[in-house]
Amino acid sequence: MIWLRKTALVLHLLRGLLTCALLFPWLGVRSREWHIRRWSRRLLRICGVEVEVVDATGAAHTGAARQGAMVVSNHISWLDIYVIHSWQPVRFVAKSEIRSWPLIGWLCDKTGTIFIERARKRDAHRVLHDITDVMLQGDLVGVFPEGTTTDGTSVLPFHANLMQAPISGGLPVQPLGLNYLDAATGQPTLAAAYIGDTTLLQSLETVLRAPRIKARLVVGPALLPASGDRRELAASAREVVAHLSQGAAEHAATAAQRLNRPPEPGTAPQPASAAIG
């Protein structure tokens, strides 16, 4: 019954708050990640969402390599964060308004979210340096470069600003493709889409009342840009993510190889210190 699932969700949220308040100050990075992964998987089960994680060939994928990288994905739902956390906890970049959300904002802060004030251009520079620093320390940083959610049928152009961080740090970009399916039929479903004027509570109600949902997360080949052009990196990452979300593995691999190919002799790559714009 729906009220039982709502009760379980509230209790699970409270458990997360207690874990962050009482345990996280005493835990190391790996232990925190274990708790975040377990909490996210339980949240998804309560919401009736099962997760399938595969690589671009369709084989099961267990987790990300232990090195700093920027994780980029298409953005469909608030569920995206927990789907990715259930695979591998990452430090997401989120708008600063989320920090003021009751309970959720505090949870995001305690689980390592990097907040950005999008209205202040100078804050983008601060966040860019913060992202580079934590990736160089071995952290994974998650970004939704579309800047908004969609219904999942297409992938919007990627904003290039934050793509300067992996270029400056000489670090890879890990593309992910997300889609949501009806678990029974395997057909795409809009039940998880968090778009338009829908509120978070309305979206949650839709998810809880929907037939079981399968979240399919496809892990693509790492992008190791040979040039320092963040716009080229953003465009290529968007192309790879779009192919992954549509199940076109060969096209995703081709796009990744094209980006990773060293520049032709005699061509000068754009400096990694290029200004943000």
pLDDT recorded at residue 262:
62
Q: Is residue 273 part of a domain?
A: no
Q: Is residue 275 part of a domain?
A: no
pLDDT digits (tens, 9 = 90+) for 59-76: 777 666 667 999 999 999
pLDDT recorded at residue 65:
60
Q: Is residue 265 part of a domain?
A: no
Q: Is residue 39 part of a domain?
A: yes
pLDDT recorded at residue 125:
81
pLDDT recorded at residue 219:
94
Residues of the chain with pLDDT under 70: 62-66, 119, 262-277
**What is d(CA 232, CA 269) in angstroms, rounded to the nearest whole number?**
11
Classify each residue of 112-150 as buried b or exposed e, where b means 16 or more C-beta atoms within 10 Å of its C-beta: bbbbbeeeeeeebeebbebbbebbeeebbbbbbbbeebb
Query: Is there a contact between 223 and 240 (Cβ–Cβ < 8 Å)?
Result: yes
pLDDT digits (tens, 9 = 90+) for 178-229: 999 999 999 999 999 999 889 888 999 999 999 999 999 999 999 987 778 8
pLDDT recorded at residue 127:
87
Q: Give the CATH number, domain containing residue 177.
A: 3.40.1130
The total of structural domains in the chain comes to 1
pLDDT recorded at residue 120:
72
Query: Is there a contact between 218 and 177 (Cβ–Cβ < 8 Å)?
Result: yes
Backbone φ and ψ for 45, nearest 5 degrees, come out as -65, -40
pLDDT recorded at residue 270:
40
- Please give the full DSSP string across 34-46, using - where no structure is assigned: HHHHHHHHHHHHH
Three-class SS state of 261:
coil
pLDDT recorded at residue 182:
96
- Domain of 116, in residue numbers: 2-260
Q: Is residue 274 part of a domain?
A: no
